[in-house]
Amino acid sequence: MYTPGASGSDDRRAWRRSLRLLLEDPDILLIVATPQSRTRPPRLASLSPMTQEHPILDANRRFADGFDQGALPVRPARQLVIVTCMDSRIDTFRALGLELGDAHVIRNAGGRASDDVIRSLIISTTLLGTREVLVVHHTDCGLMGRSEEELRALVAGERGSDTSDLEFLSFADHQTALRADVEKIRASPHLAPDLLVSGYLYDVHSGRLSERVPAGSSS
Ligand SMILES: [Zn+2]
């Protein structure tokens, strides 16, 4: 049998001869396989039922089987909000000794006080009774030490898109960024003047938290 892709002109000649014979034979149905387009989504109908399901659903079934905290109130028991980074190494609740139902956690790249964080804080404090905000940045953050220009150029190179209307909120050092975030939250006219806001740095290698901006309010 001839294998396409083998080297040598004799092989190539043999391949062409074989193909011509196949094409001329009326009894042979020739099926030509072409590479799948990279952009074409997988045809789910051809997958087995098991492979159509995301593995988190199986993990969730085991979780739900033992779940017994469905009666918790919507208001956080500790009247606390944590603003922190999306970094996968931060287990916010375990690292801060919190239980389910204790606090709101608002996460984004860098744990920065973006306008959308302010939006969530307004809802958290006004509707759901929270009275204290902890801004928690961390060591080895992917957003630190990168400039806005660098990030814009990165996206332009990858996607060819213009992100000049976006602010990535990158930063050069933790102390300056933490202070800016704490002050932005304290200065918001939409948040209570007696809202306590503080800044912390979490070390992803040691798991240790250290205070960097002491708790205070704008009042
Ligand atoms: Zn981070």
Reported as a pLDDT band with limits 50, 70 and 90, residue 211 is: very high
- Tell how far the Cα of 110 is from the centroid of ligand 1, in angstroms: 4
> Considering the domain boundaries, does residue 114 fall inside one?
yes
pTM greater than 0.85 (yes/no): no
User: Rounded CA gap, 56 and 50, in Å?
Assistant: 12
Residue 63 lies in a domain: no
* Any domain includes 186: yes
| Per-residue pLDDT tens digits for 89-103 | 999 999 999 999 999
> Is residue 183 in a domain?
yes
Please report, for residues 4, 160, 183, 185, the alpha-carbon distance to residue 175 in angstroms, rounded to integers and kept in the order given: 62, 34, 12, 16
Find where tokens 């051809």 sit.
Answer: 46
Whether residue 78 is contained in a domain is answered as: yes
Cα 219 to chain centroid distance, Å, stands at 35
- For residues 56, 204, 122, 218, the Cα torsion angle rounded to the nearest 10 degrees is 170
- Residue 149 domain-assigned? yes
- Cα 194 to ligand 1 centroid, rounded to whole Å: 28
C-alpha of residue 142 to centroid of ligand 1, in Å? 5
Closest CA to 184 of 127, 129, 110: 110
pLDDT tens-digit map of 33-77: 434 444 444 444 444 455 689 999 999 999 999 999 999 999 999
How many domains does the chain fold into? 1
Task: Flag whether 41 is in a domain.
Answer: no
Domain that holds residue 206: 74-216
CATH number, domain of 198, equals: 3.40.1050.10
Bridge-partner residues for 5, per DSSP? none
Length reported for the chain: 219
- Distance between Cα 205 and ligand 1 center (Å): 13
Tell me how far the alpha carbon of residue 97 is from its chain's centroid: 23
- Give the torsion sign (CA, 141, 144, 146, 147): positive
Residue 6 inside a domain? The answer is: no
Query: Which residue, 35, 15, 23, 21, is CA-closest to 7?
Result: 15
Ligand 1 center from residue 160 Cα (angstroms): 25
Residue 145: pLDDT band (50, 70, 90) is very high
